[in-house]
Structure 1
Amino acid sequence: MPASRVINFGPGPSALPQSVLEKATQGLLNFNETGIGIAEISHRSKEFVAFLSNIESLIRTQLDVPSTHSILFTQGGGTGQFSAVVLNLLARHRLLYPELTADERVMDYILTGSWSEKAFQEAGRLGGARVNVALDARKYSKDGVSFDNVPPHGEYAFSPAPAFIYYCENETVDGVQFSADPSAQTSFPFARLPRERSGLLPLVGDHSSSFMSRPIPHLGEHAVIFAGAQKNLGPAGLTVLIVRHDCLVDVDAAAKLGAAPVPLSLSYKTLADSKSLYNTPSMLPIYITGLVLERMQELGGLTYFEALNKKKAEKVYAAIRSGEERGVFQGKVQDGSGSWMNVVFNVLGDGAESRFLTGAEEAGMKGLKGHRSVGGIRVSLYNAITESDTDKLVGYMKNFVSEAGAQAFGVKFSC
């Protein structure tokens, strides 16, 4: 690794594999032997269209996306989808049930962290239906106000027939994630979800910060899954959508029945009909994402990365527990609800957090400061973070704990 490179534990835009970055620099000058750089070539050229099609194939294969779903590429990030989900799925619901009033249409939101809360707020701002909080995890937190847990299955209160049910699989800010163990009470409660008259599940999942880090349970039953690329896949500027075909609706026909008009650039059907080329897409982020996906497949796909990410997270959580025993660290998330992608904790003592961050930077590790809204430390362990990178951080954490303990007893400590 060149001396100028550090280990980037940032939450996003996040680390990318060095081999991908090196290959991407070649593509900036000459994309796939066209003699034109990726930032210059036409998005309708046969070379780019073929590349985009291959990206779709790589995602479909590695995530096992069924033929009942389209894979789409757009802009606006996860935040843009807070609006697009509401507009598209209420248009769909209007076409299915035109007789219902706005108060009879319900959008169910599961609140487990800052991002699901922001999506919930946007749904209320857009209107068009009543918003129901199916679960607010803050009620089950240690202090009654923080997002620090995923409550057990019995605590969810879904509407009988919602237009859609919205959840965020991994909360980047708060370090909370649904368990990967389907038997755990902190896993997602698929068995409790209400279905439509047709038997379909109107489920929407924000997978932005965990997309392509491990398999998605019940993927084929989701109505919509979306993810910003800037965590595990590529640079900011690209959003990946997986949309069930019955959700690719004629938004203009829905508007004639009273639904809110949907901008064409946000319409899922428009994106699908144009094969994600309705307008100029984010060329460079798409290119780098393709390179990342190719590398993932070469390494063994999600089987490889699920095992790796589990191992990395376990090492960091073990170091936190060790620090807790010495009174140096304090975990922020309740047992069973911790994220594999974003591990959060506090460093106890006056000025201790600042010393921890300064020492980490001096050791070549950056991006560890927690989100401004919650503070503390946040370790983002996305796919590009290697086990070796993780081991270096864990070693630093252990040394920090030992040094803090020695200082507490007036012992001079040296690394």
Structure 2
Amino acid sequence: MERVFNFSAGPAVLPEEVLQEVADNMVNYQGQGLSILEMSHRGSTFAQLHEETKALIRELLQVPDTHDILFLQGGGHTQFAMVPLNLLGAAAEATYIVNGVWSRKAAAEAEKFCHVNTILAADGSVPPSDSINVPNDAAYLYYCQNETVNGVEFNYTPAGPDCVPLVADISSNFLSRAVDFNRHALVFAGAQKNFGPAGLSVVIIRKDLLGLTTDTCPTMLDYAVHAKHGSMYNTPPTFAIWVANLVCHWIKRNGGVEAMDRRARERADLIYRTIDSFNAFYVNTIAGNARSRMNVVFNLQEEALTELFLREASKHNLMNLKGHRIVGGLRASLYNALPLEAAKALSEFMIDFAHRHG
């Protein structure tokens, strides 16, 4: 079977060798006579896999003992509510940096629970680091490290007062770059971008922030409950955790997070160079210091050619390049498992398409 190059923003491309390992062990997991889909999450086999996956993430991201790692469900949208529910405590407000679709959604959800101070970035950019002013009494400072829809990525870590915890949505660049846990109190990520199938979320939270919820917080939305029960308060997404385990092993075998970052830059630079070289044909309006390594968004100067671009790209096995419905245009998502050959093939197609239609 010929595999296509999958540029989907999520669910996203997975390493082919991981998919093969899943296929080989789906019916008879490690010779045990049953599938992991049937296996008790309380049994020793899955319990060992569960803890090993946490340990791999801790190793790959160098997560210190000050932070706990939780495996949850519900995706990023659930985290938009869990963050304020768990971190507000007695505070009345939080600060959100809004520079794209997902940070805007997160801020809107937080407004149900508190007053939100908003730091707005200009379209296609991140705010200058010296423009981030956070009051000392803010419960936390929140930002989205990579905006998948808008193609914008922070190239620095925002700083507020030392007393204000820093929270980051790192769903779309998780395990693609290092995270400074001396500065981040909480980060979260959905699996379906860079480390597994949909259905699993990982939360890495500083332990001293557990237990700040009020008595009215729903049990399933309380980080402390999940931490106390080792992320097994309810039945965890066993299959998704298994695939995440395999992806973590794949990342480790292939040089770790540092290598993932290097490869991400190589893929993204190739596409951005192509866009810039044909800037009379392709348009990318993202500020140079905010261009995402994960999601390259672009348009055609002649928008009527967009559908033709997509049809011809699919004939070259370049799939899922349509931009998000909110912004339209085109988007190439370049997650960890996407081979460099995919970026090269896309670049070559873009050059040929520009020559033929420019």
TM value normalised by structure 2: 0.97
Displacement over 6 Å in runs of 4+: none
**Separation in structure 1 between the aligned mates of residue 182 and residue 26 of structure 2, nearest angstrom:** 36
**Separation in structure 1 between the aligned mates of residue 298 and residue 193 of structure 2, nearest angstrom:** 20
Tell me the SS of whatever aligns to 2:323. coil
In 1, are the aligned partners of 2:87 and 2:212 still within 8 Å (CA)? no
Kindly, what percent of the aligned residue pairs are identical? 40
Q: Are 2:304 and 1:351 equivalent residues in the alignment?
A: yes
**Separation in structure 2 between the aligned mates of residue 302 and residue 250 of structure 1, nearest angstrom:** 32
In 1, are the aligned partners of 2:86 and 2:212 still within 8 Å (CA)? no
**Separation in structure 1 between the aligned mates of residue 162 and residue 58 of structure 2, nearest angstrom:** 25
Tell me the SS of whatever aligns to 2:26. helix
Describe how 1:12-411 pairs up with structure 2 within 5 A: 12-90=10-88, 93-94=89-90, 105-125=92-112, 127=113, 129-133=114-118, 135-137=119-121, 140=122, 147-179=123-155, 187-190=156-159, 193-196=160-163, 201-216=164-179, 218-249=180-211, 251=213, 254-255=214-215, 261-324=216-279, 327-405=280-358
Q: CA deviation at 1:250?
A: 5.8
Aligned length: 358
**Separation in structure 2 between the aligned mates of residue 250 and residue 27 of structure 1, nearest angstrom:** 42
CA deviation map 1:289-347 (0-9, x unaligned): 111111111111112111111111110100010120xx110113122111000000101
Measured on the aligned residues, the alpha-carbon RMSD in Å equals 1.3
**Separation in structure 2 between the aligned mates of residue 262 and residue 363 of structure 1, nearest angstrom:** 51
In 1, are the aligned partners of 2:281 and 2:354 still within 8 Å (CA)? yes
CA spacing shift, 1:342–1:350, aligned 2, 3 Å? closer
In 2, are the aligned partners of 1:248 and 1:269 still within 8 Å (CA)? yes
**Separation in structure 2 between the aligned mates of residue 68 and residue 156 of structure 1, nearest angstrom:** 26
**Separation in structure 2 between the aligned mates of residue 132 and residue 282 of structure 1, nearest angstrom:** 35
**1:308 corresponds to which letter in structure 2?**
R
Look up the match of 1:408: none
**Separation in structure 1 between the aligned mates of residue 198 and residue 131 of structure 2, nearest angstrom:** 36
**2:294 corresponds to which letter in structure 1?**
M
Tell me the SS of whatever aligns to 2:186. strand
In 2, are the aligned partners of 1:232 and 1:382 still within 8 Å (CA)? yes
**Separation in structure 1 between the aligned mates of residue 68 and residue 132 of structure 2, nearest angstrom:** 30
**Separation in structure 2 between the aligned mates of residue 121 and residue 331 of structure 1, nearest angstrom:** 28
**Separation in structure 1 between the aligned mates of residue 227 and residue 313 of structure 2, nearest angstrom:** 45
**Separation in structure 1 between the aligned mates of residue 322 and residue 32 of structure 2, nearest angstrom:** 42
Tell me the SS of whatever aligns to 1:47. helix
CA deviation map 1:109-165 (0-9, x unaligned): 00010000000000112x2x32111x111xx3xxxxxx3111212222322321011
Q: CA deviation at 1:350?
A: 4.8
**1:12 corresponds to which letter in structure 2?**
G
In 1, are the aligned partners of 2:68 and 2:204 still within 8 Å (CA)? yes
**Separation in structure 2 between the aligned mates of residue 85 and residue 160 of structure 1, nearest angstrom:** 18
Look up the match of 1:183: none
Structure of greater Rg: 1
Look up the match of 1:100: none
In 2, are the aligned partners of 1:176 and 1:339 still within 8 Å (CA)? yes
In 1, are the aligned partners of 2:73 and 2:201 still within 8 Å (CA)? yes
**1:368 corresponds to which letter in structure 2?**
L
**2:348 corresponds to which letter in structure 1?**
G
**Separation in structure 1 between the aligned mates of residue 244 and residue 72 of structure 2, nearest angstrom:** 13
**Separation in structure 1 between the aligned mates of residue 254 and residue 130 of structure 2, nearest angstrom:** 39
**1:123 corresponds to which letter in structure 2?**
A
Q: CA deviation at 1:400?
A: 1.1
Tell me the SS of whatever aligns to 2:289. coil
CA spacing shift, 1:154–1:220, aligned 2, 3 Å? closer
TM value normalised by structure 1: 0.84
In 2, are the aligned partners of 1:69 and 1:243 still within 8 Å (CA)? yes
**Separation in structure 2 between the aligned mates of residue 276 and residue 31 of structure 1, nearest angstrom:** 22
Tell me the SS of whatever aligns to 1:246. helix
Q: CA deviation at 1:355?
A: 1.3
Uncovered stretches (5+) of structure 2, i.e. residues with no partner: none
Look up the match of 1:144: none
